Amino acid sequence: MKKFRVYVTALLTLSSPLSALNSFAASGPGTTGAEFLKVGVGARPLAMGSAFVALPDDANAINWNPGALGEIKQKSVSASYNALFQDQNQGFLAYAMPLNNDMGVVGLGVNYLIISKIEKRAGDTEAADSTFSNQNYAISASYGKASVAQGLSLGGNIKYIHEKLDTFSGSAVAADLGALYRTPIENLSTGLAVQNLGSKIGPDKLPLLAKAGMVYQMFDKSLSLALDGDWLAMNKRGYLDFGAEYWIQNALALRVGYQLGRGQDHLGKVVGLGAGIGLKFDMFNMDYAFLPFGDLGNTHRITLGFKFE
């Protein structure tokens, strides 16, 4: 059983490089459930080192900062896929729709992570007795409103979370809150988001995350420089995120970012770096991100987006 737990923990660590997924084990200090919620989604923000709380302008705002949702002017659809490790599939589907008469923006998001073919052994044997899967998903209903006060937009999510690992199955309900503020300084915006305020899942608390940051845009908003700070309350761990995005002719974007503090994850060198590109064709956009994870290998993220009336 000890080897089984170590093996499964290692597998799930791959899917959440921020920390090991221990929801199936006994609860204790720093242990949280539904750790798949820590896995970032969207190629654009991940290529920018997750420095994105003050920048979201499409349906990905549901995940990064629902306070920015009210800033969306067109219907927006986004689909993200992450190529991770060891038979793992992770993605995020989102839809945002502005309401008539400036009544705000509503959204729907589905975040999922599935790990298949996890081997189960009753003893220390070469051949597995059987296999099982780990299934995680969160469904979010979102609302955001721009201009609640001068320059201030507010929003939130209510989400249903479910995870299943072999014989364990648990569910929880949680809320995310967010704010976006367009400061009096031209082209400087700030953002704040608090995620996963809710009930326990099984014996463990949810991974409470507080994220605050700013973005400054230059050269007619072709260049965005972003800085975020992340605090994982239950794990007592923090990160400092740096990101940059440069648009060429509003058609090709070059992105790079870095998360300072990833050495705490003990994954080896070149961890925390992000890089990628974006392509925009009228109402359609495609984004790609490359994220190395040291000893674990490299990951690739792809997002397809579409905006329409």
Q: What is the pLDDT of residue 230?
A: 96
User: What total number of domains does the chain contain?
Assistant: 1
39 in a structural domain: yes
Q: Give the mean pLDDT of 14-38.
A: 53
pLDDT-derived band at 264 (thresholds 50, 70, 90) equals low
pLDDT-wise least confident of 16-25, 108-117, 289-298:
16-25
pLDDT-wise least confident of 31-45, 85-99, 133-147, 257-271:
257-271
The residue among 233 and 120 whose pLDDT is bigger is 233
261 in a structural domain: yes
pLDDT-derived band at 13 (thresholds 50, 70, 90) equals very low
pLDDT at 28 over 80: no
Q: Give the mean pLDDT of 202-217.
A: 94
pLDDT tens digits, 170-182: 999 999 999 999 9
Q: What is the pLDDT of residue 30?
A: 54
Q: What is the dihedral of CA 165, 297, 94, 196, to 10 degrees?
A: 60
pLDDT at 292 over 80: yes
Q: Give the mean pLDDT of 81-89.
A: 76
188 in a structural domain: yes
27 in a structural domain: no
Q: Read off the CATH number of the domain in which 238 is found.
A: 2.40.160.60
pLDDT at 211 over 90: yes
26 in a structural domain: no
Hey, which bits of 68-186 come out as E strands?
A: 75-83, 88-98, 105-120, 130-149, 152-165, 168-182
Q: What is the pLDDT of residue 263?
A: 65
pLDDT-derived band at 268 (thresholds 50, 70, 90) equals low
pLDDT at 11 over 50: no
Q: Give the mean pLDDT of 86-90.
A: 77
Hey, which bits of 183-295 come out as E strands?
A: 188-198, 209-218, 223-232, 237-248, 252-260, 273-281, 284-292
Distance of CA 279 to the CA centre of its chain: 21
156 in a structural domain: yes
Domain that holds residue 169: 2-21+32-308
239 in a structural domain: yes
Beta strand 130-149 pairing with 273-281: unpaired
206 in a structural domain: yes
pLDDT at 280 over 60: yes
Q: Are 127 and 135 in contact (CB under 8 A)?
A: no
**109 bridge partner residues:** 94, 140
pLDDT tens digits, 111-165: 999 987 777 777 777 777 777 888 999 999 999 999 999 999 999 999 999 999 8
